[in-house]
Amino acid sequence: MSVTVISESSNGALHPVTAQLVGAASSLGGSITVICPGGVGSSDAANIAGVTKVISVEGDCFESYDCVAWSKAISPLVEGDLVLSSSSAVGRDLASSIAASMGVPVVQDVTSLTEGFSATRPIFSGKAIEEVGISSPCAISLRANSFESAGDGGNAEVSSVNVSQDITVAVKQALAKASERIDVSEADIVISGGRGMGEPANFSHLEEVADILGAAVGASRAAVDTWGEIPHSMQVGQTGKTVTPNLYIAVGISGAIQHLAGMRSSKFILAINKDADAPIFGVADYGIVSTWEEALPVLKEHLSDLLSN
């Protein structure tokens, strides 16, 4: 069995989910090749325990994102029977395109994987879980925070490959830069605000808590739709992003079914809402009935006390 892992990057560095992909690959046994698109994070990838070798694939086509061009550059380097990527937007694109070029099936957003392969994944926005049997060769994308990370201490050889793949998608203008903040779908902790935040400027209170925790900031659709300052990229829910952090903090969010669809499989949920009957309390592990105006300053103080020690 040999597995090819497509590494994930964010803001020009290796994303920690890559170690989770390697962890999942290790549990299947066999050799593990990590391909780093654009060469991003290749030396960090080589340090992940269990990695057999790293291929840093470089070329002009990696300067901006073009899914088919990237996949054409990467596909010839794929070795073995299984391609693993993260279930981020780019990870899913690459898994599908590489699978299609190899003529093999792809299964996305897998949350558990055993040899052979048997995989489970949420469907219908988490309203049901599907278990599938899939034979290799195939491509599978894995949901972040669902697999144990491989440790470090690896010492894999890194080779560079230069490709001259043409790019067909040209970026003409950046309209809004991606937030420097960590994306909700990638974070271990997410703190989201809803219409109960009153006005968009109050999201700064959520950002302060997020900074203490190293968390991402998300929002409900009501917040995104009401306030232009809150971009759709922050929206959690059925028509936004699906998140599975270790901790999800919902502040001033009522807990409509469409919001729950995007966050209910978080490991732990903390809700802060002034209405004791808000449906969000039905899914919260810890619910605090309070206004955010009262709760957030106290929360901030106690978290920073705890985390600075």
Partner 1 sequence: MGVAVLLKQVPDTTAKISISGDRVDEASITKWSISPYDEYALENAIKLKESGFGDVVAITCGPSRSAKCLTEAAAVGADRLIHIISESPLDSIQVQSLLSAAVKESGCEVVMCGKQAADTNSGSTGPGLATTLGFSCVGGVTEVSIEGGNASATRLGPSGLEQVEVAVPCVFTFDKGDSELRRPNVRGIMMAKKKPVDVFSAEDLGVDVGDSMVEIKSHSSPPEKKPGQKFVGSDSIPEVVSKLREEANVI
Ligand X SMILES: Cc1cc2nc3c(=O)[nH]c(=O)nc-3n(C[C@H](O)[C@H](O)[C@H](O)COP(=O)(O)OP(=O)(O)OC[C@H]3O[C@@H](n4cnc5c(N)ncnc54)[C@H](O)[C@@H]3O)c2cc1C
Contacting residues toward ligand X, per CB under 6 A:
194-196, 220-223, 235-240, 252-254, 256, 258-259, 262, 273-275, 278, 291-293
Question: Please, which residue, 26 or 244, has the CB nearer to partner 1?
Answer: 244
Rounded to a whole number of angstroms, the minimum distance from the CB of residue 248 to ligand X is: 12
Which 3 state secondary structure label does DSSP give 104?
coil
User: What gap in Å lies between CA 47 and CA 59, rounded to an integer?
Assistant: 23
Considering only residues 18 through 57, tell me which ones interact with partner 1, judged by CB under 8 A. Answer: none
Instruction: At 180, list the tokens.
Output: 């420097």
User: Which phi and psi angles does 228 have, rounded to 5°?
Assistant: -60, -25
Q: Which stretch binds partner 1 (CB under 8 A): 25-33, 47-55, 155-163, 234-242?
A: 234-242
Q: Is 144 exposed, middle or buried (0-12, 13-18, 19+ CB in 10 A)?
A: buried
The CA-atom distances, in angstroms, between 17 and each of 143, 192, 260, 268 are 9, 22, 24, 19
Rounded to a whole number of angstroms, the minimum distance from the CB of residue 205 to partner 1 is: 13
Rounded to a whole number of angstroms, the minimum distance from the CB of residue 18 to ligand X is: 28
Of these, 112, 207, 233, 279, which contacts partner 1 (CB under 8 A)? 233
Rounded to a whole number of angstroms, the minimum distance from the CB of residue 262 to ligand X is: 6
Question: Please, which residue, 45 or 206, has the CB nearer to ligand X?
Answer: 206
Q: Residues 71-98, buried b or exposed e (16+ Cβ, 10 A)?
A: bbbbbeebebbbbbbbbbebbbbbbbbb
Rounded to a whole number of angstroms, the minimum distance from the CB of residue 123 to ligand X is: 17
What, of ligand X, partner 1, none, does residue 201 touch, CB below 5 to 8 Å by kind? none
- 191: closest CA among 203, 178, 177, 179? 203
Considering only residues 156 through 185, tell me which ones interact with partner 1, judged by CB under 8 A. Answer: 168-179
The CA-atom distances, in angstroms, between 88 and each of 2, 42, 186 are 23, 19, 8
Q: Is 100 in the site for partner 1 (CB under 8 A)?
A: yes
Rounded to an integer, what is the distance from CA 90 to the centroid of its chain? 10
- 208: closest CA among 296, 269, 103, 121? 296
Site string for partner 1, 184-223 (x = CB under 8 A): -----x-----------------------x----------
Rounded to a whole number of angstroms, the minimum distance from the CB of residue 109 to ligand X is: 16
Rounded to a whole number of angstroms, the minimum distance from the CB of residue 290 to ligand X is: 7
Q: Is 153 exposed, middle or buried (0-12, 13-18, 19+ CB in 10 A)?
A: exposed
Question: Please, which residue, 62 or 292, has the CB nearer to ligand X?
Answer: 292
What, of ligand X, partner 1, none, does residue 107 touch, CB below 5 to 8 Å by kind? partner 1
Rounded to an integer, what is the distance from CA 112 to the centroid of its chain? 15
Q: Which stretch binds partner 1 (CB under 8 A): 19-27, 39-47, 98-106, 193-201?
A: 98-106
Rounded to a whole number of angstroms, the minimum distance from the CB of residue 297 to ligand X is: 13
Peptide bond into 200 cis (omega under 30): no
Of these, 134, 190, 250, 253, which contacts partner 1 (CB under 8 A)? 134
- Number of residues near partner 1 (by CB under 8 A): 89
Which 3 state secondary structure label does DSSP give 295?
helix
